[in-house]
């Protein structure tokens, strides 16, 4: 009990310290326009419309806007040096097939789940008002907490889906693409969408204290999963500032090798269980080859 009280005390002190620092920071110039837009939304739409159609709109716009840079990269010769599997370019046929499956999953699997958002917020009395909206750093911390929970769920369930008795029935669909590209992030069997997607909602149930977290977490999760499926290892990627972030090379190897690297966001579960050993050997081999090639070109 004493340890718990001490932990709570430390967290409270940290929160108060951040609040104190925040009080000295200049006001965010985007805050007032965002507030005006949020208040206008509340005045013009019902909670059901906001929770349902707002969530759908956030998901669809975020998904395809975040996919857009990776889609454009295939037409830019300069960017091809950053493509991880350069011998496997994207094709229009594969991308069209991916898009059709995505639309089915988005509107026949995910939309029914999104329709339950309003009832979830009502049951748990989750507020929509501006005054209750958490600070940006609280939202950031909550999204990180959601990512830790989702990553844990994803590691163990994803690894289970690779079991030889299950793989061909469900997860094989996602592995149709040996060289992934951003739009393929949610290309999966409907059952996989439900099984692995459940991890997304666990963090919401733990941390959600405002409807804005639902949307913030959707955007954060899409940024992560599209980045690791992008097929490109872009230098100065801000996602790599996240501690223990896996990144595109880590997950690209999973699609290429099928075994290991089961985590979605972080590397610690794979390190703990040794399921990154094949990737580490491969990365070391590639590094040596690059070093030899560099010597020859000098």
Q: How does pLDDT run across 140-166, given as a tens digit for each residue?
A: 999 999 999 999 999 999 999 999 999
Q: What Cα–Cα distance (Å) separates residue 136 from each residue in 18, 31, 96, 142, 297?
A: 11, 10, 37, 10, 49
Comparing C-alpha atoms, which of 283, 69, 52, 242 is closest to residue 151?
242
Q: How many angstroms separate the CA atoms of 281 and 179, rounded?
A: 19
Indicate whether 11 pLDDT > 50: no
Comparing C-alpha atoms, which of 295, 272, 270 is closest to residue 283?
270
pLDDT of residue 3: 44
For residues 70-94, give the mean pLDDT: 93
Can you read off the two tokens belonging to residue 35? 């507030």
pLDDT of residue 24: 53
Model confidence at 229, pLDDT cuts 50, 70, 90, reads very high
pLDDT of residue 288: 84
CB-CB contact of 276 with 270 (8 Å): yes
For residues 260-278, give the mean pLDDT: 97
Indicate whether 14 pLDDT > 80: no
pLDDT of residue 289: 79
pLDDT of residue 21: 56
For residues 257-273, give the mean pLDDT: 96
Q: How does pLDDT run across 32-69, given as a tens digit for each residue?
A: 899 999 999 999 999 999 999 999 999 999 999 999 99
- What does pTM read for this prediction? 0.88
Buried b (16+ CB within 10 A) or exposed e, 190-202: eebbebbbebbbe
Model confidence at 290, pLDDT cuts 50, 70, 90, reads confident
Q: How does pLDDT run across 167-213, given as a tens digit for each residue?
A: 999 999 999 999 999 999 999 999 999 999 999 999 999 999 999 99
Share of the chain above pLDDT 70, in %: 88
pLDDT of residue 18: 52
């Amino acid at each position: 009990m004493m340890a718990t009280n001490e932990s709570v005390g430390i967290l409270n002190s940290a929160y108060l310290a951040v609040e104190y620092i925040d009080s000295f920071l200049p006001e965010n110039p985007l805050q007032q326009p965002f507030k005006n837009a949020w208040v206008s939304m509340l005045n013009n739409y019902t909670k059901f419309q906001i929770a349902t159609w707002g969530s759908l709109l956030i998901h669809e716009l975020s998904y395809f806007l975040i996919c857009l840079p990776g889609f454009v990269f295939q037409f830019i010769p300069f960017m091809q040096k950053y493509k991880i599997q350069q011998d496997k370019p994207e094709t229009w046929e594969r991308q069209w097939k991916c898009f059709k499956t995505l639309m089915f999953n988005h509107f026949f699997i995910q939309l029914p789940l999104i329709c339950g958002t309003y009832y979830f917020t009502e049951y748990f009395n989750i507020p929509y008002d501006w005054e209750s909206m958490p600070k940006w750093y609280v939202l950031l911390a909550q999204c990180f907490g959601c990512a830790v929970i989702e990553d844990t769920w994803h590691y163990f369930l994803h690894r289970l889906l690779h079991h030889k008795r299950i793989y061909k029935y469900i997860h094989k669909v996602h592995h149709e693409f040996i060289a992934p590209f951003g739009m393929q992030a949610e290309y999966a069997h409907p059952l996989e969408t439900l099984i692995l997607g459940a991890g997304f909602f666990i963090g919401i149930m733990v941390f959600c204290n405002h409807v804005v977290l639902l949307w913030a977490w959707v955007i954060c999760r899409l940024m992560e999963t599209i980045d690791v499926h992008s097929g490109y290892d872009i230098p100065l990627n801000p996602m790599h500032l996240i501690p223990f972030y896996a990144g595109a090379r880590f997950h690209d190897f999973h699609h290429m090798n099928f075994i290991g690297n089961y985590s979605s966001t972080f590397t610690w579960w794979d390190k703990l269980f040794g399921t990154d050993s094949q990737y580490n050997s491969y990365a070391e081999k590639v590094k040596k080859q690059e070093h030899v090639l560099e010597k020859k070109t000098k």
